Every structure is written in structure tokens, then in C-alpha cells.
Amino acid sequence: MGWLKVTFWGVRGSIPVPGPSTMRYGGNTSCLEIRSEDGDWIIFDAGTGLRVLGESLDLSKKHDITILISHPHWDHINGIPFFTPIYIPGNRVAIYGPGTVEMSLEDILSGQMKYSYFPVRTVELQAEISYHQIEQDSFTIGNFTIESITLNHPVACLGYKVHYGGKTFIYLGDNEPYYNVYKDGDGEMGEFVENLNRRLVEFVKGADALVTDSQYLPSEYESKRGWGHSTTHHVVNMAVRAGVKKLFFFHHEPLRSDDDLDDILLHYRQMIQDRGFPLELHAAMEKQTFDI
């Protein structure tokens, strides 16, 4: 068991935002990968960053690819039709993820390649593609042991925990902390909600690295409550409570410029330092790699 590395290929939420103000952190939507020295390899989410990841591969070689999808919103699956390895015979692509109440995982993913949306027919996908619809579960992929957990989002959405050689890496897709919908306060309901949130704190407990949706600032949250996303405040609190070692803000709000992200990071790093929390904080940046 040697090194374990994570690379970001798309760090943005909701919609790609190319342009001068997003050049440093990047404008592609959700996609990251984890690789081990033993050759274990998993891609998380298939936003537009997946296209860039595909370009980084040596396509003269055959690849055995595993993609874990958090949920099938556009910003998490839109890169699949533009992922070159799916057109090359001999490649194998296994896609794991949840379905929705209306559709299976396979119907959702092949649906976005229907002729009305996309010019290539599914028969032109030369790679061997398999679909694995999962819920909250645990399974292995090579030397990686994976646990998935249900998150709070308008559609079924999963977070993933990877165990490898005593290390743990966690990727949480889109997620909003549960809250008490009864504004006038209902004691029992408050406790119920707190238990639901505690379940996620338990899941991320002691993680070596946590990458999580932190789309909004606390000042933006009230008008977006119920949309299924966390604030920077929520995730810093959760990481501190759970004793996470490294936290990465991810799924950045599309309107957020590079300078905004720098300012946010600075603000929270100062707060963490002032309070003496043993947490290392970063904002995910496209094409950045870190060791676990």
C-alpha cells in the first residue's frame, strides 16, 4: 500500500462557467478521481470535467474505468457523451450510481444520448459499458473498499467513502443539512433532524480528506433553502465536529469568481486558526492533485 492521490477535473456546481474570472479555479462541473500506487482508480461524478480527464489519458492503451455518480443532475453526468474512452473498443466502463423515482440509472444516462439531445447513436459507443444501480451500500473496487450514504438533495444522491491502506477519503455529492421545516419549533422534530445530521458527521468522522458541496455562503442561504446544497459554514462545522483532517470546498457557486474564492478561503482559514481547530482547509481547483 503506497501513495494515494486525488485530482480535480471539474469543481463547479450547476453549470460550466468558462471565462476570465474563473480561470484559476476552473469552470468545469463536478469530476474528480482517486488513484492508488497499486493501480486502483475511481472517477467520481461525470460533469464536464470528465472530458478533460479523458484527454489526459493515453488512449492508445486499453482502460478499465469505474465511475461513481453521486446523482443524475446535469452537472454530474453531462461529461459522459464527451468522454472519448467510451468510443474506443476494448475499454471497459463501469458506471455506479443511484436511479431516481422516475427512471433507472441506465435509462437516465442513455437518455441524455438520445438523438434529440446528442448526434451520436448509442451503438457507436464501442467500449463495454455496464450500469450498476446502487443505494446506500458497501462494496469493493480493486483494493478500495467503498461505502455509500444517502444525502439530502431533491433527487436520490449518494456520498462515497473510500478505505485504502488505513486511509479514508470521502466525496459528498450535492447535499443540504436536514433542517426543521416547522419554523415555530417542534422539539421532537428538532431532535429527529439532529439525528439525521449526526449520521453524516459519523460517516465523515476522522476522514483524512473530505471533498464536499459547499455551494453557498451563509448570507446566500436563506433564499436557497431547500435547493439541496450546503454552505461553507455548514461544511466547516461538520468537518470540525467530525475531526476531519483536510477539507476541500467543492461544487463552487457558478457566480463565484477566483478572487471571491480566495477571499472565502482566507476568511475561514483565519477563523480556523483563531479558534485553534486542527483542520486544513482548501478550495478545490481544477487539475490540482493532492496526496492523502
List residues binding Zn ion (CB under 5 A). 13, 73, 75, 174
CA triple 194-200-202, angle to 5 deg: 100
Shortest distance in whole angstroms from residue 286 CB to Zn ion: 16
Shortest distance in whole angstroms from residue 75 CB to Zn ion: 4
Q: Which is nearer to Zn ion, 12 or 272 (CB)?
A: 12
C-alpha cell at 75: 452537472
Shortest distance in whole angstroms from residue 273 CB to Zn ion: 30
Shortest distance in whole angstroms from residue 191 CB to Zn ion: 28
Q: Which is nearer to Zn ion, 10 or 13 (CB)?
A: 13
Q: Which residue is nearest to Zn ion (CB)?
A: 73
Q: Which is nearer to Zn ion, 111 or 243 (CB)?
A: 111
Query: What CA–CA distance (Å, rounded) separates 181 from 109?
Result: 33
Q: Which is nearer to Zn ion, 174 or 176 (CB)?
A: 174
Shortest distance in whole angstroms from residue 214 CB to Zn ion: 12
C-alpha cell at 105: 440509472
Measured CA distances, 141 to 8, 64, 115, 159, 204 (Å): 20, 11, 33, 16, 20
Shortest distance in whole angstroms from residue 69 CB to Zn ion: 11
Q: Which is nearer to Zn ion, 36 or 175 (CB)?
A: 175
Query: What CA–CA distance (Å, rounded) separates 221 from 230?
Result: 8
